[in-house]
């Protein structure tokens, strides 16, 4: 057995009877079915002793197939460039598993979510509060079970919000539910001793958009990329690419090499405009609006470029199963090179200024500390991890699209603070510009779409991690019948990174909290509800989607 598979030999040594069913349908992706009684011990051993990184859990309603439920723990062995899925059956009459969270904090939210959506109880979980369902969602109802339709209307219950009690003697200061600097929904409760943060609590997930439910009940394989790209307003290419490659890998579809290069090209351009967006926002948060204006001025030609190349500033609609929908001709390639030259030149001037700015350093250095030990324990990803001296990057660790040919240089800083995370992103901007040029220079000819004229096999598992600007976006697909997945699981990078906020802001002065939260580049879910307060009557009103649509139509008509 080759060296890269030594971790499997080690697992076999400790659990000889438990990994007999190990399978490798997809290269570098192993799936093992083991009894749920030993699942926590195997997961703990893999993480604690073998250096695996917890990625996410997947709870699946398998009653139509096997009569039970399934819980899967996805682990990444980054140095070995492998994924391992450990899955166990959970009988409907005993929906319990032993929680691994006391030993592996990174699993905390994932196990709570498995209970919310499927009803699998993580026994021994240190914080078993509801996580993603609304406060008024009925108890005992788990919406990802297959008896519920994607558009099911559930009754409301007057449940109390699942709040963490504040430490005695502290003052509770709410931050949100509309985050003051990012203009997105997020609600932090800060526990203060004077001006110093001594604890916190987070409540989010107000708007579960049911994209996974749509994926396994209504949409077909080639419709899902157009929904996946809307998971995030910035990282659309990331999600559609990760989903498409997970399906392609599961079904053995060989994507043309030119299509892989085009996917990587759009991903790097997306990273450039996303990082520039963040640099501007970070300046805005700390009151340094010159950075905001300069960064966004430099960014705008990139957005024009994306519209020139794809037809849209965002949501490029480029990916289908088997390839991409459009090619990059030489005229477009020259436009991309020209814009990259301009961005690089102007970016250097800004970086030269901010890298020696003492005021900026005073606001960012030593602020929002996340040690390497905490970063690994919580399982953060992307610039948050790399700013804490954790050198993980999916482009290198689990190559996808064309990255195995591109020699990506991982940017790492050891400051563990907001300044380190800033510098990681700044350095990654220049690296992405280099990669864009290399992609254009090396891109081979040929088709951009594979011929897929057969029904895709069911029961296959495919995984794909794509390195978004914010970090690893992971997609799990279990293929199904009727030309759609049986289960589609998405984990965006904000999901693990947000769990680190409590550690990052502990001990800070209140004034440093906004930039510390902003330093991990949060992406909160967009809202479909609008709550208004009439300043004259003090009346609060919540508008429905239908009312908003009608108001929008009326406004458009009045303009005309």
pTM of the full structure: 0.91
Strand partners, 191: 172, 199
Identify whether 177 is preceded by a cis peptide bond (ω within 30 of 0): yes
DSSP letters spanning 126-156 = S-----SS-TTSPTT--TTSTTS-TTPPPPP
Q: Are 368 and 417 in contact (CB under 8 A)?
A: yes
| Alpha carbon of residue 182 to chain centroid | 18
The closest alpha carbon to 121, from 136, 149, 138, 101, belongs to 101
Residue 300 corresponds to which tokens in the numbers above? 């705008």
Strand partners, 53: 76
Which backbone phi and psi does 488 adopt, to 5 degrees? -130, 120
DSSP letters spanning 20-60 = TT-EEEETTEEEEE--TTTHHHHHHHHHHTT--EEEEEEEE
C-alpha–C-alpha distance, residues 524 and 204, integer Å: 8
C-alpha–C-alpha distance, residues 343 and 338, integer Å: 9
Sequential pLDDT tens for the chain (560 residues): 445 578 888 888 898 877 777 888 899 999 999 999 999 999 999 999 999 999 999 999 999 999 999 999 999 999 999 999 999 999 999 999 999 999 999 999 999 999 999 999 999 999 999 998 888 899 999 999 999 998 888 998 888 888 899 999 999 999 887 766 666 778 899 999 999 999 999 988 876 778 899 999 999 999 999 999 988 888 889 999 999 999 999 999 999 999 999 999 999 999 999 999 999 999 988 888 999 999 999 999 999 999 999 998 988 999 999 999 999 999 999 999 999 999 999 999 999 998 889 988 999 999 999 999 999 999 999 999 999 999 999 999 999 999 999 999 999 999 999 999 999 999 999 999 999 999 999 999 999 999 998 899 999 999 999 999 999 999 999 999 999 999 999 999 999 999 999 999 999 999 999 899 888 887 764 433 445 556 677 676 666 767 766 776 665 555 44
Q: Could you identify the residue written with the tokens 């380190």?
A: 420
Which residues, including other chains, have CB under 8 Å from residue 219's CB and lie 6 or more apart?
A: 227, 484
Please give the DSSP secondary-structure letter assigned to residue 328: -
Residue 199 corresponds to which tokens in the numbers above? 């604890």
Q: Are 43 and 86 in contact (CB under 8 A)?
A: yes
The closest alpha carbon to 120, from 139, 143, 102, 97, belongs to 97
Say whether 66 sits in a helix, a strand or coil: coil
Q: Could you identify the residue written with the tokens 């300046």?
A: 283
Q: Could you identify the residue written with the tokens 């090499």?
A: 257
Residue 348 corresponds to which tokens in the numbers above? 């250097």
């Amino acid at each position: 057995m080759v060296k890269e598979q030594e971790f499997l030999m080690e697992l076999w040594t400790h659990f000889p009877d438990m990994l007999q069913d190990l399978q490798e349908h997809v290269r570098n992706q192993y799936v093992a079915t083991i009894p749920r009684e030993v699942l926590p011990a195997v997961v703990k051993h893999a993480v604690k002793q073998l250096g695996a990184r917890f990625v996410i859990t997947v709870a699946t309603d398998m009653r139509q197939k096997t009569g039970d439920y399934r819980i899967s723990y996805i682990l990444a062995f980054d140095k070995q460039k492998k994924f391992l899925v450990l899955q166990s059956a959970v009988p409907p009459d005993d929906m319990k598993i032993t929680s691994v969270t006391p030993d592996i904090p990174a699993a905390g939210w994932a196990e709570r979510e498995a209970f919310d959506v499927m009803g699998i109880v993580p026994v021994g979980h240190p914080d078993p509060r509801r996580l993603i369902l609304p406060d008024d969602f009925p108890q005992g109802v788990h919406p990802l079970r297959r008896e519920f339709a994607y558009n099911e209307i559930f009754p409301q219950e007057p449940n109390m919000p699942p709040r963490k009690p504040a430490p005695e003697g502290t003052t509770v200061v709410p931050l949100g539910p509309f985050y003051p600097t990012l203009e997105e929904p997020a609600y932090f409760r800060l526990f203060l001793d004077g001006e110093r943060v001594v604890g916190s609590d987070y409540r989010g997930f107000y708007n579960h958009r049911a994209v996974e439910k749509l994926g396994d009940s209504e949409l077909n394989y080639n419709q899902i990329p157009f929904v996946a790209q809307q998971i995030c307003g910035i990282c659309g290419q990331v999600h559609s690419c990760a989903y498409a490659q997970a399906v392609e890998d599961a079904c053995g579809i060989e994507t043309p090499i030119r299509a892989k290069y085009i996917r990587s090209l759009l991903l790097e351009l997306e990273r450039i405009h996303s990082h520039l967006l963040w640099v501007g926002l970070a300046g805005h948060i700390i009151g340094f609006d010159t950075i905001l204006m300069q960064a966004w001025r430099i960014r705008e030609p990139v957005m024009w470029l994306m519209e020139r190349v794809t037809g849209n500033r965002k949501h490029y609609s480029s990916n289908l199963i088997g390839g991409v929908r459009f090619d990059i001709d030489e005229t477009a390639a020259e436009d991309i090179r020209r814009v990259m030259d301009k961005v690089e030149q102007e970016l250097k001037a800004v970086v030269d200024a901010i890298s020696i700015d003492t005021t900026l350093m005073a606001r960012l250095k030593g602020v929002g500390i996340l040690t390497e030990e905490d970063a690994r324990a919580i399982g953060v990803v992307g610039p948050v991890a790399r700013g804490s001296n954790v050198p993980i990057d999916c482009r290198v660790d689990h190559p996808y699209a064309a990255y195995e040919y591109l020699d990506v240089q991982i940017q790492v800083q050891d400051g563990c603070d907001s300044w380190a995370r800033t510098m990681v992103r700044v350095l990654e901007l220049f690296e992405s510009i280099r990669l864009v040029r290399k992609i254009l220079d090396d891109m081979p000819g040929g088709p951009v779409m594979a011929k897929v004229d057969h029904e895709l096999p069911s029961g296959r598992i495919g995984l794909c991690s794509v390195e978004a600007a914010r970090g690893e976006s992971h997609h799990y697909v279990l293929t199904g019948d009727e030309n759609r997945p049986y289960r589609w699981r998405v984990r965006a990078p904000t999901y693990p990174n947000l769990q680190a906020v409590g550690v990052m802001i502990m001990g800070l002065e209140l004034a440093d909290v906004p930039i510390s939260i902003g330093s991990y580049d949060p992406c909160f879910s967009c809202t479909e509800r609008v709550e208004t307060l009439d300043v004259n009557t003090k009346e609060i009103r919540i508008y429905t989607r239908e009312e908003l649509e009608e108001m929008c139509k009326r406004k458009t008509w009045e303009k005309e």
